[in-house]
Structure 1
């Protein structure tokens, strides 16, 4: 009878382990989509115009652009102020220079906005990836809670079964002791 009880306890433990393995297997299957999306993000389709706007915005927002722009303006002003007559192609008050600066500003602003829109799209995709990572972490936490609940439930059941068997054994021992005492009297 004791072997049967031990075998039953071992069988219960094996069932318990099978449940835990099933939970792990289910978790891996559920998270495969999230992991696949994080490891293989969709490729970004960029048109030539978007590439150009990114390059112009990158250059227009750099110190190299500012330094070169200041050098050209300084040279423009010095040359046109020092040159005499027809050699000065834009005499003071530098109307041509003002026109060119206005055109540069008028063209550069929308190009920079296009680049910023693309950057905003990249930030949105990063936000989606962060959301997926947080979702994966939440799923992991839920699975851990499920595993802990299962472990506690199984342990409580095992303890209860063990105590029940111990009480039965104690009763049998008490009965045997009572019989021995009654035989001795």
Structure 2
């Protein structure tokens, strides 16, 4: 059994269903430079093989690359849906974090209020002690006691 403390993000991630986790993974992969580089490399290889391939059999999608355009259109449609799912997930995460912050602020306000009450009681006690010490000092030195304030 692990004794490490689970962060809020870790707890939240445990509540996600498989689709939400998959959307997060795809968003993180598709929104990265390695993905962009691999995507451009695949497009370049596709274009080169279909344009200047040594064998006519390699020209499975000759210029103007209609099959490639179909795949890119399907990819764009999927990316749009994935980005919307990821944005919706990010909104949910932001709302949960905001609620967590609000709950923390409310708890902190209650603790601060309690501490202020304790502080005010301490100040009153200090003032009472000060008056007692002053009265005791005046009584021992023979000075008349000051009028109560």
TM range (shorter): 0.7 to 0.9
Q: 1:57 touches 1:115 (CA, 8 Å); kept in 2?
A: yes
In the alignment, the residues of structure 1 paired with residue 34 and residue 56 of structure 2 have an alpha-carbon distance, to the nearest angstrom, of: 33
Q: 1:118 aligns with which of 89, 95, 99?
A: 89
Partner of 1:106: 77
Q: 2:22 aligns with which of 52, 70, 78?
A: 52
In the alignment, the residues of structure 1 paired with residue 30 and residue 143 of structure 2 have an alpha-carbon distance, to the nearest angstrom, of: 91
Asked if 1:154 is matched to 2:125, the reply is yes
- Range 90-99 or range 133-142, more displaced: 133-142
| Secondary structure at the counterpart of residue 19 of structure 2 | helix
What do the CA deviations read for 1:41-94 (whole angstroms, capped 9, x no partner)? Answer: 667422221222122111111112111111110000001111365531111111
Q: Relative contact order (alpha carbons < 8 A, sep ≥ 6): 1 or 2 greater? A: 1
Stretches of structure 1 that go unaligned for 5 or more consecutive residues are 1-37, 173-185
In the alignment, the residues of structure 2 paired with residue 162 and residue 129 of structure 1 have an alpha-carbon distance, to the nearest angstrom, of: 49
Q: Over aligned residue pairs, what C-alpha RMSD do you find?
A: 2.9
Aligned length: 134
Cα displacement (A) at 1:148: 1.8
Q: 1:142 aligns with which of 93, 103, 113?
A: 113
Stretches of structure 2 that go unaligned for 5 or more consecutive residues are 1-7, 145-149
| Residues 72 and 164 of structure 1: CA distance in aligned 2, closer, same or farther (over 3 Å) | same
TM-score, length basis structure 1: 0.60
What do the CA deviations read for 1:128-180 (whole angstroms, capped 9, x no partner)? Answer: 222233333333332232122101112222333455566666489xxxxxxxx
In the alignment, the residues of structure 2 paired with residue 121 and residue 43 of structure 1 have an alpha-carbon distance, to the nearest angstrom, of: 12
CA radius of gyration, larger in = 1
Q: 2:61 touches 2:68 (CA, 8 Å); kept in 1?
A: yes
Of Structure 1 and Structure 2, which has the larger fraction of its residues in helix?
A: 1
Q: 1:56 touches 1:112 (CA, 8 Å); kept in 2?
A: no
In the alignment, the residues of structure 2 paired with residue 62 and residue 50 of structure 1 have an alpha-carbon distance, to the nearest angstrom, of: 19
| Secondary structure at the counterpart of residue 107 of structure 1 | helix
